[in-house]
Amino acid sequence: MHKGPPVRARVRELTSASNSMVKVFRRALAEGVTRDGWLCGEGPHFLEEALKPGSRAIVHSVLVAADAVEKHSVLLGQLPDDAELARVPARLFGQIASTRTPQGIAALAELPAHDLKTVVASENALLVAACGLQDPGNMGTIIRSADALGASAVITLPGTVSPFNPKAVRACVGSIFRMPVFANQAIGALFEILRKSGVRVLGADRHSSVSISQADLRGPVAVFIGQEATGLPPEIARQADELLSIPIRPEADSLNAATAASIFLYEAARQRNFQYQP
């Protein structure tokens, strides 16, 4: 008989794949979010990060496999009192899991609502915008670097992989719970907000003769990162205040998009004396 999690007296027992909660998890684990916009993730690390003091997320529901209850008992004991906890047979959990080697636990967490205009207007705003990136691992790495290097927010444009894609969420290693992320922002409306707030628009362009070491990355700036192969879309490049390159060896063709974004963010943090906003 499996032991129940500590300090929680009520655990729902679900055995059917047609149960509404099981259906929600099945869909959300595949897509990354529920229809209500709640983030869904699998594995203990996802839940640990969501429950950390610095996290801005609210954990609403947790699904645990019957054979993993004891293994995750300490983590389950940290759930808020109003969180919903359900136990399912290990076989059923394996059927709805999105990973090859399920770890027997998944959670739904609500991210806080952020106002883009307010974030953009913040003092010395540092924004990174992804344009057309398709690899979720790159997207997650950008979010992780933005969190580590003091960015104000990550923005994605239409045609870019979702920052809430399960692989992107795993790659960002918990940063999604701390970093404001604005997905699928229309170009025209975004530039209007940036201009009204006095944000300088910088574009990463490997062909530019001006390197990031020559540019002033202090003050409010938004750095736009395009695809590795094609670079920034022309409509973005035309509206940029300045196009900047990262000096690399002539034998090298280009840098990975996430690597380029991280270098831009590091240079901005360096110029700001690594004085991060709370």
Question: Which of 8-17, 22-31, 65-74, 166-175 is predicted least confidently?
Answer: 8-17
Q: What is the pLDDT of residues 67-118, one digit of tens each?
A: 999 999 999 999 998 999 999 999 999 999 988 889 999 999 999 999 999 9
Q: Work out the mean pLDDT of the chain and round it to a whole number.
A: 93
Q: At 206, which amino acid appears? A: R
Can you tell me the mean pLDDT for 238-250? Answer: 94
* Apex 209 CA angle, 125 and 139, nearest 5: 45
- Residue 100 CB coordination number (10 Å): 5
Buried b (16+ CB within 10 A) or exposed e, 149-184: bbbbbbbbbeebbbbbbbbbbbbbbbbbbbbbbbbe
pLDDT tops 90 at residue 15? yes
Q: Look at residue 254 in the predicted model and tell me its pLDDT.
A: 81
Q: Look at residue 184 in the predicted model and tell me its pLDDT.
A: 96
pLDDT tops 50 at residue 1? no
Q: Look at residue 201 in the predicted model and tell me its pLDDT.
A: 97
CA distances from 127 to 66, 147, 153 (A): 43, 11, 5
Separation CA 8–CA 143 (nearest Å):
34
Q: At 31, which amino acid appears? A: E
Q: What is the pLDDT of residues 194-205, one digit of tens each?
A: 999 999 999 999
pLDDT tops 50 at residue 9? no
pLDDT tops 90 at residue 230? no
Domains of the chain: 12-110 (3.30.1330.30), 116-271 (3.40.1280.10)
pLDDT tops 70 at residue 3? no
Q: At 61, which amino acid appears? A: S
Q: Look at residue 8 in the predicted model and tell me its pLDDT.
A: 52
Retrieve residue 115's tokens.
């106002």
> Nearest 10 degrees: CA dihedral of 111, 117, 119, 122?
-160
